[in-house]
Amino acid sequence: MSPDAPSPAPRIVCAPDSFKGSATAAEAAAALARGARQVFPDAHITDLPFADGGEGTLDALLAVWATPARSVEVVDALGRPTTAAYGVSADGRTAVIEAAQANGLPQVSDVTLEPERADTYGVGLIARHILDEGVEEILLCIGGSATTDGGAGLVRALGAALLDDTGAPIPPGGGGLAHLASVDTSGLDPRALGVRWRIAVDVDNPLTGERGAAAVFGPQKGADPATIARLDAGLAHFAEVLAETPDAARALAGTSGFGAAGGIPLALTQLLGAEVVPGSRMVAETVGLGEALADADIVLTGEGSFDSQSLGGKVVAAVRDHAPASATVVVVAGRVALTPAECREAGVTAALSIAPGPAELAELSARAEELIEATAAQACALLAAR
């Protein structure tokens, strides 16, 4: 190619997380694309909203699938009527549930928290409704819960019976687990056993102990030290009832990730054969992240705060890991807490904050899409000048 020949138009992929409270992943991806288009008008640009399995995953997958959210009447963590959103892929084979739509803390923020009573029954109602639609796979995203019941309510909604030593149903919630003597699965919906379950987790906490579901996450759900001890013991007992041997029960209690969302993975793995996976990996596989990035020249990603946690299983880490070695990876974020050297060491070419100068968070949030677009244009201008 002669020195005066034009460079081929780059292939650009915009794969950000949401900017929490400011822009959804789809809005952020569109803003990055608009900024890139200002500098590279002829580029092949792909919007790929992304998520790590936590808040915003439903919206990200709906954007990629180009399908609308659906809704169903369920109950919240305290059994009160509420409406939950969920999503189904365009081919009807895969469904996504954000458990917090039913058992989330925001849904019960208007009343005094009841950590021993709160349960996941409403999440099971979403799943039961989805089974009526004939899906083959359920992606369950479980962050932000108000519950610590080990998924007991969820499987109860699907037909399992959790019984005390008299054969009567135990009380709902993590507090009821102390009374559990047996689990009767004869009434379990066979369709729940016929679908593939994948549970997205973004923590590595075990089910019980000092780093367990009750000890670490119980306080934010309203649990005092005595309540935490009872919830922790209840989860351990649930594992004992589900396991075949004491050693197997101890293994369950210590399994990494089983402490997520009040122990939801426990019941689902043991009774429904669910697979627990890192959330970013699950989303990457679902949206085809590897294929989308395979021939990218420039990758624009981002999130609200880019810091050391971003490099451990979050969106930016997943995008970096799937990007080809030849690609330029740029992070656009509300806040950048890593040095240029730390970025390079992490495989990121550069990280730019959307803040044009000293600014209040409220101001940045109000202008988030505009600022994301401007910062993407700035990044692309620098790349074009190389």
Which pTM was predicted?
A: 0.85
- Please give the biggest Cα pair distance in the chain: 86
Amino acid making up residue 294: A
Q: Give yes or no for residue 319 having a pLDDT over 60.
A: yes
Nearest CA among 305, 303, 272, 292 for reference residue 140: 272
Q: Is the dihedral of CA 263, 229, 103, 242 positive or negative?
A: positive
Q: Tell me if 227 sits within 8 A of 116, measured CB to CB.
A: yes
> Could you read off the pLDDT of 240-278 as tens digits, one per residue?
999 989 999 999 999 999 999 999 999 999 999 999 998
pLDDT band for position 234 (cuts 50, 70, 90): very high
**Which pLDDT value is given to residue 306?**
87
Q: Cβ contacts of residue 186 below 8 Å, gap of 6+?
A: 161
**Does 41 or 203 have the greater pLDDT score?**
41
**Does 306 or 1 have the greater pLDDT score?**
306
What average pLDDT does the segment 264-293 reach? Answer: 92
Chain-wide mean pLDDT for the chain?
A: 92
- Taking the C-alpha atoms of 94, 97, 98 and 103 in order, what is their torsion angle to the nearest 10 degrees? -170
**Which pLDDT value is given to residue 244?**
84
**Which pLDDT value is given to residue 300?**
97
Tokens of 241: 């009832």
- Topology, domain 11-49+288-385: Rossmann fold (3.40.50)
266 φ, ψ (degrees, to nearest 5) = -60, -60
Nearest CA among 353, 242, 367, 365 for reference residue 305: 353
**Which pLDDT value is given to residue 315?**
87
Q: Exposed, middle or buried by CB within 10 Å (0-12, 13-18, 19+), for 224? A: exposed
pLDDT band for position 232 (cuts 50, 70, 90): very high
**Which pLDDT value is given to residue 365?**
80
Tokens of 139: 């992606």
Q: Give yes or no for residue 4 having a pLDDT over 60.
A: no
- Topology, domain 57-280: Glycerate kinase, domain 2 (3.90.1510)
**Which pLDDT value is given to residue 64?**
87
Q: Cβ contacts of residue 344 below 8 Å, gap of 6+?
A: none
**Within the chain, which residue ranges are assigned CATH 3.90.1510.10?**
57-280
19-22 contact pairs (CB < 8 A, 24+): 19/302, 19/303, 19/304, 19/334, 19/365, 19/368, 19/372, 20/55, 20/56, 20/304, 21/304, 21/365, 22/304, 22/334, 22/364, 22/365, 22/368
Q: Is the dihedral of CA 182, 186, 191, 196 positive or negative?
A: positive
Q: Tell me if 162 sits within 8 A of 169, measured CB to CB.
A: yes
Q: How far apart are CA 54 and CA 33, in angstroms?
A: 24
Q: How far apart are the first and last CA of the chain?
A: 17
Alpha-helical runs (H) found in the chain? 25-39, 57-65, 100-103, 121-131, 152-157, 190-194, 213-217, 225-242, 246-253, 264-272, 279-287, 289-293, 315-322, 340-345, 361-366, 368-384
Number of H helices, E strands in the chain: 16, 13
159-162 contact pairs (CB < 8 A, 24+): 159/185, 159/187, 159/188, 159/189, 159/192, 160/184, 160/185, 160/187, 160/188, 160/267, 160/271, 161/185, 161/186, 161/187
**Within the chain, which residue ranges are assigned CATH 3.40.50.10350?**
11-49+288-385
